[in-house]
Structure 1
Amino acid sequence: MFVTPAFAQAAGGGGGAASAITQFIPLILIFAIMYFLLIRPQQKKLKDHRAMVEAVRRGDTVITQGGIIGKISKVKEDGELEVEIAEGVKVRIVRATIAQVVSKTEPASTAANTN
């Protein structure tokens, strides 16, 4: 009684495909902007972190995501590290929880490895 029926207007003739493409252009632009401003930098950051974590070795000083600073005393194969956080106090941590490598040890010389 209070609601009036709404009738759709007939669409203009021709130009249906061109109109559909122009309607999707803003969506495509938004996706492109989101990719270059959000997705791509996150992937690069993740790749850099993964490379940093894979490169740690015994003697490196690291900071964990929990804020613990320690020196790596043993690198295990199953994704674990043994970190000395104080004199005689060693903890096991998961390799992925390293937030930052503070100081790196010098790599062994290649000449020493050939002997």
Structure 2
Amino acid sequence: MSLLPFIVIFVLFWFMLIRPQMKRAKEQKKMLDALQKGDEVVTAGGLLGKVTKVGDQYVSLEIADGVVVQVQKPTIQAVLPKGTLKSAS
């Protein structure tokens, strides 16, 4: 009977913290796996760019005309709708 509060706390901890974190990580991995040339993305550092090349670990982003940088895949936070870069300029 004395273990019941610990079990309840663990179950609450699981549903409030661990499970949503795992769900977000799964969605992020799915988004990164679906990246392709021409996608417009934003990185964790706030860079907006168009994907020019996708590798296993790195992605090449064109952040301005003729300016291409390489970033690690996990730093990509979101894929933006097409045409976002033109409206952001």
Q: Normalised by the size of structure 1, how large is the TM-score?
A: 0.69
Q: Which has the higher contact order (CA 8 A, sep 6+)?
A: 2
Percent identical residues: 43
Tell me which residue corresponds to 2:86.
none
The partner residue of 1:60 within 16, 39, 48 is 39
Distance 1:103 1:97 in 2: 18
Q: Which has the higher strand share?
A: 2
Output the aligned Cα RMSD: 0.9
The count of aligned residue pairs is 82
Kindly report structure 1 stretches of 4+ aligned residues shifted beyond 2 Å. none
Tell me which residue corresponds to 1:47.
26
Q: Find the residue that maps to 2:59 and give its secondary structure.
A: strand
The partner residue of 1:33 within 4, 12, 28 is 12
Deviation, structure 1 residue 103: 2.5
Deviation, structure 1 residue 92: 0.5
Q: Find the residue that maps to 2:10 and give its secondary structure.
A: helix
Unaligned runs of 5+ in 1: 1-21, 105-115
Distance 2:51 2:81 in 1: 11
Tell me which residue corresponds to 2:74.
96
Amino acid of the residue matched to residue 26 of structure 2? K
Unaligned runs of 5+ in 2: 83-89
Tell me which residue corresponds to 1:107.
none
